Structure 1
Amino acid sequence: MKRNKEFGGSIEVICGSMFSGKTEELIRRLTRAKIAKLNVEIFKPKTDTRYDESAVVSHNANAIPSIPVENSSAILLYGSDVEVIGIDEAQFFDDELPDVCVKLANKGIRVIVAGLDMDFTGKPFGPIPALMAIAEDVTKVQAVCMKCGAPALYSLRLNSNPNKVLLGEKESYEPRCRVCYNEDKASY
C-alpha cells in the first residue's frame, strides 16, 4: 500500500551528539519504509566522505545507498515519485534546508532528517534548530559519556582545531554529559 499523499507529508528530525545513534535510527526508519514498499531516496552532503563516497554509513558500519549533493536545493531535483526522503548529516547543509523540507512535506513526502543539534562548542548547529521548530516529530538521542557513563548530549572535540566543521571520528570527538563536557572543554 502506497503512502496517501492526500494526508500530506511530514518532517521528522533525529538529533543528538556524536555517537548517539542518529544515523543508525535514520537507516532503521528508511529500511522500514522500504519494507513497506515505499519509494525512498536518501541524501547526504557531498563533503561527508568519512566512510563512503556515496553511502550513508553509521558508526556501527550499517549502510544504505545515498545520493551525495552539493546543497539542499539539489534534493528538490531528484525523485519525482518519492514517498520518503532521508537526509543525513543535515548540520552540514545550508540554511535553505528547512525550506526544502517544507516544500517536500507539502508535496506529501515524509522527510526524515538526522544531524547534530549542537557543534563542539555546545551551540546550535546549522539548520537543525530551525528544522526542529517546524518538524512534526523530534527524536533527541543520547550517547554515553565516555568519562562517567551518564547520558551524553555534547560532542567534546579532542583537539584545539578552531574550525566549526572538522570531519572526524573517535580520534577527534568523544560524547560527554553536561558536567564532564564543562569540566573537559577548558582543557582543549
Structure 2
Amino acid sequence: MLFNEDVFKRRNEYGGSIEVICGSMFSGKTEELIRRLKRGQIARLSVEIFKPKTDTRYDETAIVSHNATSIPSTPVENASTILLLGSMAQIVGIDEAQFFDDELPEVCNKLANKGIRVIVAGLDMDYTGKPFGPMPAIMAMAESVTKVHAVCVICGQPALYSYRIIENDTKILLGEKESYEPRCRRCFLLGKKVNPDT
C-alpha cells in the first residue's frame, strides 16, 4: 500500500499500542495473529509482518498457521531490523516472538510510541514450563494480552504447556506434532515424572 501522509498523521494522533497473543503450541496463536492482520489490510491500513529468519517450518517467507492459513511476511535476523523496516507502517505484526533477541521488547515499545499498533504472537513458556525469551517483558508492557489454549491430548482439558515428546534438551528446537504435544498442567507434570529426562 502506498504511504498516505494524512493516515500517518492520524496514526500518531491516536497513539500506538502493543497487543500480545500467547499460549502453548497448537493453541491458535498464529491463526489469531493472521486474523487481526488481515482485518487491518481490509481496512486499507499499511501492514508490515515479520518472523524470525530461522523459522522455515512451513514456508521460507510467509507466516503459516497449523491449519494452513497464511499471510506474506518478511523474515528477519534480529529485532532491530523490525524497527528499521516497520517504522512507517500503521500495523506491525510479529510471529514467533520467543525466538527473537532481547531487543524485541524495546523495539515494540519504540514502534508503539511512534503511534504504531504492534501485534505480537509467541510461546509464553518453553518446553520446561519456564518463561520463554523476550515474551514476559513484552507481555508486561502490552496494553492487552490474549492467552489462548490448545486441548490437552491426554485428558482433553485446556492445555497451556508445550510438552516435548522426544529426547532433546536443546532450548530451541523447531518442530511440530512429531516433537511436541499440548498438555494441561496436571498431564504436563505427570509426564515429567514419568520421563524426567525430557
TM-score normalized by the length of structure 1: 0.97
The residue that corresponds to 2:90 in the other structure is 83
The residue that corresponds to 1:61 in the other structure is 68
Amino acid at match of 2:70: A
Amino acid at match of 2:190: E
The residue that corresponds to 2:23 in the other structure is 16
Deviation at 1:185, TM superposition (A): 2.1
TM-score normalized by the length of structure 2: 0.93
Unaligned runs of 5+ in 1: none
- Report the number of matched residues: 188
Q: CA RMSD, aligned part only?
A: 1.1
The residue that corresponds to 1:103 in the other structure is 110
Shift in alpha-carbon separation, 1:135–1:65, aligned structure 2, 3 A: same
Deviation at 1:81, TM superposition (A): 2.9
Amino acid at match of 1:93: F
Q: Secondary structure of 2:98's partner?
A: helix
The residue that corresponds to 1:71 in the other structure is 78
Deviation at 1:93, TM superposition (A): 0.2
**Match among 168, 181, 186 for residue 161 of structure 1:** 168
The residue that corresponds to 1:126 in the other structure is 133
What is the alpha-carbon distance in structure 2 between the residues aligned to residue 5 and residue 150 of structure 1? 43
Q: Which has the larger radius of gyration?
A: 2
The residue that corresponds to 1:51 in the other structure is 58
The residue that corresponds to 2:3 in the other structure is none
What is the alpha-carbon distance in structure 2 between the residues aligned to residue 81 and residue 118 of structure 1? 31
The ranges of structure 1 where at least 4 consecutive aligned residues each deviate by more than 2 angstroms after the TM superposition are: 1-4
Unaligned runs of 5+ in 2: 1-5
Identity of aligned residues (%): 74
What is the alpha-carbon distance in structure 2 between the residues aligned to residue 80 and residue 155 of structure 1? 33
